[in-house]
Amino acid sequence: MSGSVNDSRDKSSIMDGEEKEERIVDIYITAEAVRDIKHKKQTEESETTTKTTTQQPEHKGSECARNRCHRSVLVCLVLLCVLLLTAVIVLCVLIYTNNHQFHINNKKITQERDQLLTKYTNITEERDQLLTKYTNITEDRDQLLTKYTNITEERDELKVKCYNATELYKQINWKTNLIWTHFSDGWIEQEVRLYLISSELKNWTESRSYCRDRGADLIIINNKEEQDFVNNITSGAQHWIGLSDSDVEGTWKWVDGSTLTSGFWEVGQPGYHRLENCALSQPEWHDYPCTSFFKSICEKKIF
């Protein structure tokens, strides 16, 4: 009996040692350790069913140890759950904090974006206004350049006109003086031409020399108006004119070398006499010998 008690004590002391060892089990026990503990428990239960009734005190001690082990496992599981719950809570807090901060940052970024967009819009409007002003200024400049060009051209035209007017004035002044000079010498003006009736009787050749000495030549009558003018200033008297057929008989030419096309011959004239090679106005034309003596009509252009 005493041997059994001692054995029980020894077993109890052994179980106490085991319990102390089990109490220092790390709180982070793994799932495999839990399965091993369960397997051990099943093995011990199967062994306890085969033991004899004489071993009941030992069975009771083992069951107490198992209970303590179960409690330790349960405590570990609870601690793990608490740790997991704490981790979940911490994660939730972090997520909430980060989410809240994200919304704050997003709001700030949105506000900054809107401000930048507003500034961009304002800058774009200012740029468009500047471009419009630049375009207007460019158009004004082009208009001013066009006006300047036109004014310059008008100025140059006025300069040319002024120069031409000055030259014309000089010519008119000179020719006016010339006309007055000629008037004093007996010249008559008619349509920018001057006419002089000689006062001396000369043959046709001498009469031409007389006109040439005065910068003129015997008159060339081109039309009816000029013929009437000659008759008017000569009163129909006989005067040499600048027409002859001395070079080729029957081919009447003026003193400037041009051939007569139509004239104001009296009926039956010219007579085609070989010695009658010079024309005379009386007031209609007659052919006379060039050696005859008559007055003559000189002509020269004013301009």
State the pLDDT at residue 85.
92
Across 172-207, b (16+ Cβ under 10 Å) vs e yields: eeebeeeeeebeeeebeeeeebbbbbbeeebbbebb
Is residue 103 exposed (0-12), middle (13-18) or buried (19+ Cβ within 10 Å)? Answer: exposed
State the pLDDT at residue 28.
45
Q: Give the pLDDT of the chain (303 residues) as one tens digit per residue.
A: 444 444 444 444 444 555 544 554 454 455 555 566 656 666 665 665 555 444 444 555 667 777 777 888 888 889 999 999 999 999 999 998 888 888 898 889 999 999 999 999 999 999 999 999 999 999 999 999 999 999 999 999 999 999 989 888 887 776 676 666 555 578 888 887 889 999 899 999 999 999 999 889 999 998 899 999 999 988 889 999 999 998 888 899 999 999 998 889 998 888 777 788 999 998 899 999 999 999 999 999 876
Domain boundaries, the chain: 2-96, 193-301
In CATH, what number does 193-301 get?
A: 3.10.100.10
State the pLDDT at residue 285.
92
Contact 34, 75 (CB under 8 A): no
Q: What is the dihedral of CA 131, 135, 138, 139, to 10 degrees?
A: -170
